[in-house]
Amino acid sequence: MSGAFTILGGGVCGLAMAAELSSRAAQVTVIDPKGAPGDHACSWWAGGMLAPDCEGVSAEPEIVRQGRKAAKWWEHQGGAVHHEGTLVVALHRDQSDLATFARRAPTATPLSRTQIADHEPHLADRYSKALFLADEGHLDPRATLTTLHARLRDRGVRFDADIEGQVIDCRGLAARDTLTDLRGVKGEMLVVRCPDVTLSRPVRLLHPRFPLYIVPRGDGVFMLGATQIEAGERGRATLRSVMELMNAAYALHPAFGEAELLEIGVDARPAFPDNQPRIRRIGDTIYVNGLFRHGFLLAPALAQMTADLVLDGEIPEVWYEDHRQR
Amino acid sequence: MPTFYGTEITSRLMLGTAQYPSPATLADTFRRSGAGIATVSVRREAGGDQAGQDFWTLIRDLGVAVLPNTASCYSVREAVTTAHMARELFDTNWIKLEVIGHADTLQPDPFGLVEAAAQLAEDGFEVFPYCTEDLVLCERLVEVGCKVLMPWGAPIGTGLGLNNIYGLRSLRAHFPDIPLVVDAGLGLPSHASRAMELGYDAVLLNTAVAKAGDPAAMAHAFALAVEAGALAAGADPMDPRDMAAPSTPVFGKAML
């Protein structure tokens, strides 16, 4: 079965939805204020880590389970996924955080200094212990969204048409007009260029107050993220937050002190109270939202489940709510 | 139950609202713990146009008394401004006053604390000062109008427990009529129990619960420990002694 579908919003959720539906021969229209991926979507500012095991330390088990599907899906859609795993370190005085992390991330393998040198030579003289999560990956969110957008156009997905058929609302925080339990969680990030440091994979620095992740983007460029503040504002990066991110990067490796600051980004992630996403049917519309800090990680599973729902009438195994009876 | 500024509290366990995996977990934790007072940070979430509104609504919906705090304020002026903002947001005169003096240890700035407390008391606030266990500091705080004191057990977030039992005990002895709350540094329920056994009125904690693998279960454990400790304190515990004191007489027992 197929039909016509209109997807509201062209962020990671909307484009993944369009990809999944169009690959199953449905007629798809995407309506987005700018018509193409850009800084109006919070996924533009994402880290692009496909790190279900790391996230599992604080996220619900279902997020880990559904997130494991992400890497393969993105590759299938033409995304360049790097399968380099994740390295987790802590400063000397925060070693207890490393122990806690190891306990809560069962797939993490402890690395000695020599083993760290094998993975990330630039960190070996600074850390004698680390954790390695081999099954994780990362991608470049902007390149991935831009590539996917082009592929969708080639595939006949329309970005300049009117609403037609079943509406699937993937507008993120903008859908608060209907989804009253959706809230924004502000995040700030930096992009820097630091040719003095080479990293092959995302590195997470555990810290009781200023946890940090650094994702290599190639050519000496790194994304540093991200704050997590209970506030819905989508702008206004504060000096405090930026300073904390910079401090943490400097603590991770002093060479970041010489990095060139390329970008300060800020936006708010859409989240439901349990920080888990929803596929919610209200009236004739299906809302896919609340991906929180797991946009690239969960969009594939959500797109697949939603496509199964609208094309085959298959009820999603998780995160589905039918509000029509209310 | 102890009374804070004329309000009788419903539980001796007070919880912070930061660092939980999700707001849903936070709500569940409050339900399981029976905590009657929630502290909430105003400063960072504020942003433009009161951007933290959603989170604050969520806190109000917990159905417990809200004790706004001035966390991460480093100066008197910041703390006072934040307190005024908190009063508008939560419609309460209560303020947990934090004036941080040292970024690394997050230890209170005692001088700024007294100054800010005096000003806020004048402005009609009911101040809950986050202080050290220093007796002289606590006397000054009481002089400027504080009717509750909240000395630390250990630096915020360390989970080290009660670092200075002697100091905390002498504080209790010096202020028999002022409600005393151990705030910060608790890591385990046994630490909370110990504070209660010292005769403290309540404990306030956040990290120990929020960063536990199962926050709701840990909060429940703290609730039980607090209740046990308070019960013990009210039961006139025995004093320790050096010599063994057999609970059955041994005199005259046959030596075999």
| Distance between CA atoms of residues A9 and A168, nearest Å | 9
CA A58, distance to chain mean position in Å, is 15
Chain A environment of B210 (Cβ under 8 Å) = none
Q: Do A232 and B51 touch (CB under 8 A)?
A: yes
pLDDT of residue B90: 87
Q: Do A184 and B21 touch (CB under 8 A)?
A: no
Q: In chain A, where does the domain assigned CATH 3.30.9.10 lie?
A: 86-134+183-271
Residue B96 designated active-site: yes
CA A30, distance to chain mean position in Å, is 21
Residue A256 has pLDDT above 90, yes or no: yes
Q: Do B23 and A59 touch (CB under 8 A)?
A: no
Mean pLDDT throughout A126-152? Answer: 96
Q: Do A104 and B53 touch (CB under 8 A)?
A: no
Specify the residue for token string 């009253």.
A180
Lowest mean pLDDT among A14-18, A42-46, B190-194, B238-242: B238-242
Residue A207 has pLDDT above 70, yes or no: yes
| Distance between CA atoms of residues A301 and B44, nearest Å | 34
Tokens of B59: 């806190």
Specify the residue for token string 């707001």.
B23
DSSP B204: E
- At the top level of CATH, the class of A86-134+183-271 is alpha beta
Q: Scan residues 191-250 of B and list those with Cβ closer than 8 Å to A.
A: 207, 211, 213
Residue A325 has pLDDT above 70, yes or no: no
Q: Which of B25, B27, B52 sits opposite A231 (nearest CB)?
A: B52
pLDDT of residue B50: 61
CA distance A92 to chain B (A): 15
Closest-CA residue to A298 (of A83, A21, A68): A68
Helix A141-154 and helix A295-312: axis angle, to 10°? 30
Q: Do A233 and B22 touch (CB under 8 A)?
A: no
Residue A30 has pLDDT above 60, yes or no: yes
Mean pLDDT throughout A16-22? Answer: 97
- SS3 breakdown of chain A: % helix, strand, coil, rounded to 5? 35, 25, 40
Chain B environment of A209 (Cβ under 8 Å) = 157
For A4-79+138-179+273-322, which CATH superfamily applies? FAD/NAD(P)-binding domain (3.50.50.60)
- Chain A residue set in contact with B, beta carbons under 8 Å: 58-60, 100, 104, 183-184, 186, 208-209, 229-233, 235-236, 240, 271, 273-276
pLDDT of residue B230: 95
Q: In chain A, where does the domain assigned CATH 3.50.50.60 lie?
A: 4-79+138-179+273-322
pLDDT of residue B241: 83
Q: Do B48 and A275 touch (CB under 8 A)?
A: no
Tens digit of each residue's pLDDT (9 = 90 or more) over A121-134: 999 989 999 999 99
| Distance between CA atoms of residues B89 and B104, nearest Å | 29
Chain A environment of B73 (Cβ under 8 Å) = none
Specify the residue for token string 């994979």.
A201
Tell me the pLDDT of chain A averaged across its residues.
94
CA distance A115 to chain B (A): 29
Tens digit of each residue's pLDDT (9 = 90 or more) over A84-112: 999 999 998 889 999 999 999 999 999 99
pLDDT of residue A1: 45
**Percent of chain A whose pLDDT exceeds 70:** 99
Q: Which of B22, B44, B207 sits opposite A274 (nearest CB)?
A: B22
Q: Which of A60, A100, A236 sits opposite B48 (nearest CB)?
A: A236
Tokens of B170: 């002498």
| Distance between CA atoms of residues A127 and A113, nearest Å | 7
User: Which of A230, A238, A269, A278 should we substitute to test contact with B (largest number of B Cβ atoms within 10 Å)?
Assistant: A230
Tokens of A261: 């600051």
Chain A environment of B23 (Cβ under 8 Å) = 183, 273-275
Residues of chain B with pLDDT under 70: 44-51, 246, 248-256
Cα torsion at B99, B103, B107, B110 (round to 10°)? -40
Chain B environment of A232 (Cβ under 8 Å) = 51-54
Please return the burial class of A288, using the count of CB atoms within 10 Å of its CB with bins 0-12, 13-18 and 19+. Answer: buried
Q: Do B25 and A184 touch (CB under 8 A)?
A: no
Q: Do A186 and B51 touch (CB under 8 A)?
A: yes
Nearest CA in chain B to A231: B52
b/e burial code for range B57-72 (CB count within 10 A of at least 16 → b)? ebbeebebbbbbbbbb
Residue A240 has pLDDT above 80, yes or no: yes
